[in-house]
């Protein structure tokens, strides 16, 4: 069928083709079918969207990925990508071969899958899981797509937390300590998937996080490290597409998690990595057994990729730090580097930094580096190199002006602080998209309190979002208070 192209912008990264229903019926094209477009410079494939209004009969609308297609074109039906068959296999809980996973990764990278098909892939992995062999092959395939960083240093340090713990922003503190000790640590981080703030979201409060590879190399040459968004430099770009599909469902299945983390680390040129695996009630991993299994799988996949991986299994029942949300976590980070801040965040950062230093063969004390002010000085240099204000202090960071404090309606003992509920509340308040939204936690488990004591404060940037968070807070109990007698029974 001969049609005239017209460019349309409907805010999608998918190569959509808009056909008037008259032309679509004549062609026999249904929604989400593929069409082959022959144009002067070659051929392209698009995913069909039928419409009565956006394009007229005789025209074909092409979205941004296909804007290079112009003029009169020949449109014919095309078959679905081969990877769709493999997604169906995974939905049927059939283990996939390396070549099949490579095909899925390639088709995701080349935008050949519709949003529905990508969601089906994510759902299949969530429902049926990935075997260790599948995880190895998937990680290798994902790290083989996109750009790669390389460094002169034979030891390149890195760290990642699997998340699920409110306020667990130890990474900036660790980077400051480890780079001050002389190691190279070019930290590429993701934005939030299921949490109210990823490391990239937190750092964006303080400085720029999107850079080219050349700019990252310059920053690392100057400071030994960086704290940047990995998606900005096309490192394992398929991971970013998969995360986009996972986000609405707030899912992060173990096999895909390992592939996500280690493909990014391999692409970033990391050689020695510490993985933080928090476990406990309300954390992403709830049992010690599951945490150990995940740690073993991380190490096995790391060995397959020839990357030295060490895992720290940490308690994830209680939040780390006081703030939950980008600006509030950035405030906690600066406070710790300034010599104050939440003790829980300080202690965990020191423990993991010491572990990473030892893992990399460096004889240095994280505590000495922090208390001497070297870590703060190095962090300020990194902020400056990334376009931020190196003189910024923790007191300069203000949370959202719309706020309400939830108070105890009884006296007693705090028996539980629920990470998952606090994260849900922070997200409902607007985090991470609203950087100053989030939660300030006033109590920790085992605290003895009286009626009227503050439990937590919700911050939002708009009254509407504060109201939404308050409504959710009415249905939740993120900080549980029980009488002393009931608390004793609960502990038993």
Q: Which of 140, 102, 106, 101 is nearest to 124 (CA)?
A: 101
Residue 301: Cβ-neighbour burial (10 angstroms; 0-12, 13-18, 19+): buried
Q: Is beta strand 448-449 parallel, antiparallel or unpaired with respect to 412-417? A: antiparallel
Is 252 annotated in the active site? yes
Cα 141 to Cα 398: distance, rounded to the nearest angstrom: 43
Q: Which two tokens stand for residue 221?
A: 């040459």
Cis peptide before 473 (omega within 30 of 0): no
Q: Which of 33, 239, 252, 354 is catalytic?
A: 252
All residues at 6 or more sequence positions from 170 whose CB lies less than 8 Å from its CB, including other chains: 159, 161, 276, 320, 345, 348, 349, 352
All residues at 6 or more sequence positions from 358 whose CB lies less than 8 Å from its CB, including other chains: none
Q: How many CB atoms lie within 10 A of CB 50?
A: 20
Three-class secondary structure assignment of 187-206: EEECCCCCCCCCHHHHHCCC
The angle at the Cα of 210, spanning 437 to 7, to the nearest 5 degrees, equals 95
What are phi and psi for residue 31, nearest 5 degrees?
-55, 135
Alpha carbon separation from 54 to 6, 50, 84, 335 (Å, rounded): 10, 9, 28, 53
402 with 462: CB under 8 angstroms?
yes
Q: Which two tokens stand for residue 447?
A: 């605290």
Q: Which of 210, 248, 208 is nearest to 385 (CA)?
A: 208
Would you please indicate which residues are annotated as catalytic (active-site) residues? 252
């Amino acid at each position: 069928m001969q049609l005239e192209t017209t460019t349309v912008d409907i805010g999608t990264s998918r190569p959509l083709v808009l056909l008037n229903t008259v032309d679509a019926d004549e062609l026999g094209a249904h929604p989400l079918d593929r069409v082959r477009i022959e144009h002067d410079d070659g051929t392209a494939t698009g995913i069909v969207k039928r419409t009565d209004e956006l394009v007229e009969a005789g025209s074909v609308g092409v979205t941004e990925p296909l804007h290079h297609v112009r003029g009169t074109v020949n449109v014919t039906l095309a078959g679905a990508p081969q990877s769709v068959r493999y997604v169906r296999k995974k939905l049927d809980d059939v283990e996939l071969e390396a070549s099949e996973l490579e095909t899925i990764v390639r088709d995701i990278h080349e935008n050949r899958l519709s949003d529905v098909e990508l969601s089906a892939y994510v759902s299949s992995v969530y429902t049926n899981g990935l075997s260790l062999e599948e995880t190895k092959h998937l990680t290798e395939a994902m790290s083989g797509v996109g750009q790669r960083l390389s460094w002169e240093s034979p030891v390149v340090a890195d760290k990642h937390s699997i998340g699920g713990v409110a306020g667990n922003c130890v990474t900036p503190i660790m980077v400051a300590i480890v780079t001050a000790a002389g190691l190279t640590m070019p930290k590429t981080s993701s934005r939030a998937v299921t949490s109210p703030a990823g490391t990239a979201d937190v750092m964006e409060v303080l400085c720029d996080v999107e850079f080219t590879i050349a700019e990252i190399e310059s920053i690392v040459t100057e400071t030994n490290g960086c704290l940047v968004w990995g998606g900005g430099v096309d490192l394992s770009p398929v991971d970013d597409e998969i995360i986009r599909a996972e986000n609405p469902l707030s899912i992060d299945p173990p096999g895909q998690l390992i592939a996500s983390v280690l493909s990014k680390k391999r692409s970033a040129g990391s050689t020695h990595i510490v993985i933080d695996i928090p476990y406990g009630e309300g954390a992403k991993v709830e049992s010690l057994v599951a945490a150990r299994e995940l740690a073993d799988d991380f190490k096995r996949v790391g060995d397959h990729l020839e990357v030295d991986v060490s895992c720290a299994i940490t308690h994830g029942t209680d939040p780390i730090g006081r703030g939950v949300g980008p600006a509030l976590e950035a405030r906690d980070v600066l406070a710790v580097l300034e010599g104050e801040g939440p003790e829980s965040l300080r202690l965990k950062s020191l423990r993991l930094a010491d572990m990473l230093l030892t893992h990399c063969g460096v004889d240095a004390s994280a505590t000495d580096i922090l208390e001497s002010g070297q870590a703060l000085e190095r962090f300020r240099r990194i902020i400056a190199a990334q376009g931020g204000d190196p003189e910024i202090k923790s007191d300069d960071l203000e949370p959202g002006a719309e706020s309400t404090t939830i108070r105890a309606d009884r006296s007693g003992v705090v028996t539980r602080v629920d990470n998952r509920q606090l994260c849900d509340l922070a997200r409902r308040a607007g985090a991470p998209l609203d950087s100053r939204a989030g939660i300030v936690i006033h109590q920790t488990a085992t605290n003895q309190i009286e009626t009227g004591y503050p439990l937590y404060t919700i911050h939002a940037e708009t009254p509407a979002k504060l109201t939404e968070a308050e409504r959710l807070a009415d249905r939740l109990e993120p900080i549980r208070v029980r009488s002393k007698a009931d608390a004793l029974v609960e502990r038993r």
